[in-house]
Structure 1
Amino acid sequence: MGRIGELRRSSPLALLVGVAAASVGVIYGYDLSNIAGALLFIERDFGLSAAQQEMVATATVIGEIGGALAGGWLANAIGRKRSMVAVALGYAVFAVAGAASTSVSTLTVARLLLGVTIGVSVVVAPVFVAESAPAGARGALLVTYGVATVIGIIVGYLAAYLLAGAGNWRAMLGLAAVPAVLVAMLLARIPDTARWYLLKGRVDEARRTLRRIEPGVDAQRELDEISRTLREESSGGVGVLREMLRRPYLRATLFVVTLGFFIQITGINAIVYYSPRLFEMMGFHGDFALLILPALVQVAALVAMLVSLAIIDRVGRRPILLSGIATMVAANALLVAVFAGGEVFGGAAAAVKFGGVLLFTVGYTFGFGSLVWVYAGESLPARMRSMGASAMLTSDLVANAVVAAVFLTMLTSLGGAGTFAVFGVLALASLAFVYRYAPETKGRQLEDIRHFWENGGRWPPEDLLEDIATAEAPA
């Protein structure tokens, strides 16, 4: 609970930034689940085959890839805040366009464009929070975005259930425009980050923002440190992308790209996008079972993420991430066993399958779901941060597109046991990768994290860090 206290002691502006970014997460989460519910009724209206359902779901993810690729550039060009305002307004427009669709093709195009706005948001939001949060509360504020995403998923399933009686999928999709407009209005009240202002040479605005974020901080010292870091990173006229692909930051780039891929290829959004179909295969029927049971799974996931939020800046990033992935591995093993030998479980087979899905989702949200935003915001130095987040989330979304495009086909061809065996192997591989390569960034200033990569993927001894800090301090 100590880090919850850190949140309470944060400045009003830092809390407002966290709330604004979290609100974007609610919109993202709502879309993830409400399309799952809407597909039940879109299928009936448009006569969708399984392949067409995969196409509608995958169109959004393909748009997200485009948005993630552009997100880093956009955040540097027009600012973190303006990018997020554009995201919220764009989401409102394309949510309404999706609701007004008259054919599969127009729905697919609307979903593609909506995906672009989501892709920008998943890159810019963690950078915005990481650069605006005090070090002691940064991890908690970053996890808050993930918490909000899970809340959005729950709300999406509940909205789908409440509208299921009328089969009104247009209302399910269109309602998202209302919170999107409200979020845009909230974001308009917030300044951009001090680091972005310095990138653009707007020193006075950077100083004012720092003093509002951390009223007791030595603003000039912080500005000098950020400016020195930016000068180092831009020396020699080397472009940001070239800098990310050369030593010492090549290791950091490979880490975030691979981590991003593992976060989605292990299968979480297969469960979110296709929960009603999966639960049908598990033996459940009716609107309540197909829409409320997935919501209950997400409620458990929300509890897990809140626990992660409460302890992340005390326990650290690595223990949370490793234990979450280990839980996913155990859940996959359980699902393989019950799908392969359901007769052994008798009448309890459906309940055990439900328990396996719940355990998998809880493990994911406790680990990957919480930490994706933290590592996206913390892993690279300031000049490369938005581009690094863009590369990580692009990799994440490519894996998401693969899963969205093949999950129903996998269930049909491999069955439940084969499908979850594949996800289990991928979860084991991700566990080994995180154990070997993930840095522990708990309590580190953003400007200090570069020393981990500059030292070959190991933290230098504390006395050496102190010597570095003394040598780099302004005279």
Structure 2
Amino acid sequence: FPYGYSIGTTNSVAEPVMEFNNQSHMERYGNPLSIETEELLWVLTETFFPLGGVFGSMLVRPLLSRLGPRKSMIYTQILSIISTLLTSLSVLMRSYEAIIIGRFFLGAYCSIGIGIGPIYVSEISSPVVRGPVGGMFGVAIGIGTVVGNALGLKEVLGTKSGWPYLFALTVVPTLVFLSYIKWIPDSPRYTLMTCKDEAMTRHILTKLRGTDDVDKELDDLKVLADDVTTVKILTVKQVLTSRSLRWQLACTTVVLASVQLTGINGVQFNLNTVFLTAGIPHSIVSYVSLGVVAAQVVVASTSSLASERFGRRTLILAGNLIIVMSTILYTVSLALYDQAEWLSYVSIVATLGFILGVNIGPGIVAYVMGPELNNQSARPGVMTVAVFCFWLSFTIVTFATPYMFLYLGSYVLLPFMTVAIATVLFVYKFVPETKGRSMEEIEDFFKSGNTSRRP
């Protein structure tokens, strides 16, 4: 939720924050910011969020190895509190630097959550509901985006005086999480394999499943634990240099990084700009943006359920193909806009299709599929690398997108379309379906050398 909320608020508060930056500079130096510097400061405000994510991604494995999923999530709430204090109190400090640094801490917090959250969810969920439950991770991101956009309207908190409160609300999910922490159980896998506490593992499974009949699942965990005891948790260096993990690492990284390389967050950070470029009046552009992000929550909810019926791999392929078709429609509608103004509405449909394409497949399924592709010993290291690439891609896209709008105009989405096409080809040829498959079956697939054949 905080990840989506941050994306939504960024799109909403660009104008008042840029005005604050200019006023702060005037008070400090006696002269206004140049247009170029003002734009650069805003780009840095956007970019330091994913840059913090790059830093946070490097903490995923150490935290998982030393603290386990539950304690890691507790301690990372400190980053959220620091971020909230810096961004919300920046007005009192008259410091735009505080906003930028606060965004860095928020990015680190969200990055650790994206790295650890899916692992925790996959480890506490039974195989039957693992897809829908894991998919709710993406749904929560969508809900956060809607809430951020809604509260960022000028009639609510998207004003000169309201935006600090908009940033301050980032701490609310942290407070809710901490208030419920004693009811959030440890991971059964972590409790058995790392803490070696079989009685507590049984208690946790009974609590999670709502039944005392957990013998079979506990026995499966014991077998898995026996296998893992002979192979210690791999470091990032070992993961990167292991030939046997080459394809798991490649598939996990592509699945996660492609979420950002579709350009989705570059577009959502600049969603108002997308519609203004398409000719939508400034007076209604915020409401159009809100409607589009609200629609994505509905699609994301459906996608999380559909992943168990149609499979993770199928939805990733379908979502990327929709991205390709929507990009073509958006580009053509803007290129011909001068000849027919009604094409601006076609561009809205195309943008909606682009965002929904991401949420039908990669934006939802990737968070479930990434952990499923790796066993217990390799998962922390592989996910650390994949999440690092996820946030590095996010940083590059966020920094580049405003300049792409400036120099590419109506062709701004074409680079992202090429990534979607490449993702379709890679996933179709190399990535196995994980729905309904045990970890042993997925490992056997990679070990068999069948990665060049359609699974």
Structure 1 equivalent of residue 32 of structure 2 = none
Picking from 320, 328, 336, the partner of 1:341 is 336
Equivalent residue for 2:446, pick from 424, 448, 453: 453
Describe the shift of the 1:449–1:209 C-alpha distance in structure 2 as closer, same or farther (beyond 3 A): farther
Aligned mates of 2:176, 2:249 — CA distance in 1: 35
SS at match of 2:270: helix
In the other structure, the counterpart of 2:33 is none
Which residue matches 1:273?
269
Letter matched to residue 137 of structure 2: Y
**Hey, what does 1:421 align to over in structure 2?**
414
1:468: which partner in 2? none
What is the letter of the counterpart of residue 443 of structure 2?
Answer: R
Q: How far is 1:291 from its partner?
A: 2.3
Q: 1:275 to 1:266 in 2, by over 3 A?
A: same
Q: Does the CA contact (< 8 Å) of 1:134 and 1:213 recur in 2?
A: no
CA–CA distance in 2 between the matches of 1:394 and 1:122?
A: 11
User: 1:97-141 deviations in whole A, cap 9, x for unaligned?
Assistant: 211113221211111111111110000110000000010000000
Taking the aligned partners of 2:393 and 2:373, their CA distance within structure 1 comes to 20
Structure 2 letter corresponding to 1:29: G
The answer to whether 1:299 aligns with 2:299 is no
Is 1:64 aligned with 2:53?
yes
State the alpha-carbon separation in 1 of the partners of residues 39 and 160 from structure 2. Answer: 23
Work out which of the residue numbers 57, 75, 87 in structure 2 matches 1:86: 75
How many Å apart are 1:363 and its aligned residue? 0.5
- C-alpha distance in structure 1 between counterparts of 2:385 and 2:62, whole Å: 11
**1:37 aligned to 2:12?**
yes
Root mean square deviation of aligned Cα: 2.3
Counterpart of 1:408 (choices 399, 402, 411) is 402
Show CA shifts across 1:157-190 (max 9, x none): 0000112355521011111212321122223321
Question: What residue ranges of structure 2 are gaps of 5+ in the alignment?
Answer: 23-36
1:126 aligned to which of 107, 118, 124 = 118
Report the 3-state secondary structure (helix = DSSP H, G, I; strand = E; otherwise coil) of the residue aligned with 2:175: helix
Q: 1:454 to 1:425 in 2, by over 3 A?
A: same
1:264 partnered with 2:260: yes
Trace 1:357-372 onto structure 2 (pairs within 5 A).
357-372=351-366
The TM-score normalised by the length of structure 1 is: 0.86
Closer, same or farther in 2 for the Cα pair 1:455/1:134, shift >3 Å? same
Of 237, 246, 249, the match for 1:250: 246
On the 8 A contact 1:230/1:383 being kept in 2, the answer is: no
Query: What is the TM-score when the length of structure 2 is the normalising length?
Result: 0.89
Letter in 2 for 1:146: G
The whole-number CA distance in structure 2 between the counterparts of 1:105 and 1:238 is 39
CA 1:445 to 1:237, structure 2 compared with 1: closer, same or farther past 3 Å?
closer
Q: Distance in 2 between matches of 1:457 and 1:51?
A: 48
Separation (CA, whole Å) in 2 of partners of 1:236 and 1:152 = 39
Q: Distance in 2 between matches of 1:231 and 1:121?
A: 29
**Alpha-carbon distance between aligned partners in 1 of 2:74 and 2:219, rounded to the nearest angstrom:** 29
Distance 1:110 1:124 in 2: 21
Contact 2:12 2:149 in 1 (8 A): yes
Which stretch shifts more, 123-132 or 183-192? 183-192
Tell me, yes or no, if the aligned pair for 1:245 and 1:253 is still in contact at 8 Å. no
List per-residue Cα deviations over 1:258-287 (Å, max 9, x = no partner). 22222211200011111122222222344x
Map of 1:107 onto structure 2:
99
1:116 aligned to 108, 115, 121, which one? Answer: 108
Query: Identity percentage over the alignment?
Result: 21
Q: Quick one: which amino acid aligns to residue 410 of structure 2? A: G
Distance in 2 between residues matched to 1:46 and 1:271, nearest whole Å: 23
Aligned residues: 433
List runs of 5+ in structure 1 lacking aligned partners: 1-25, 461-475
| Residues 342-368 of structure 1 deviation map (CA, whole Å, 9 limit, x = unaligned) | 234x12122122111111000000111
Q: Assess if the C-alpha contact under 8 Å between 2:202 and 2:214 holds in 1.
A: yes
- State the partner residue of 1:181: 175
SS at match of 2:436: coil
> Shift in Å at residue 215 of structure 1?
4.7
Partner of 1:331: 326
Q: Distance in 2 between matches of 1:447 and 1:40?
A: 52
Against the structure 1 CA distance between its residues 459 and 262, is the aligned structure 2 distance closer, same or farther, given a 3 Å change threshold?
Answer: closer
Cα displacement string for residues 174-211 of structure 1 (whole angstroms, at most 9, x for unaligned residues) = 11212321122223321211111122323322222122
Partner of 2:433: 440
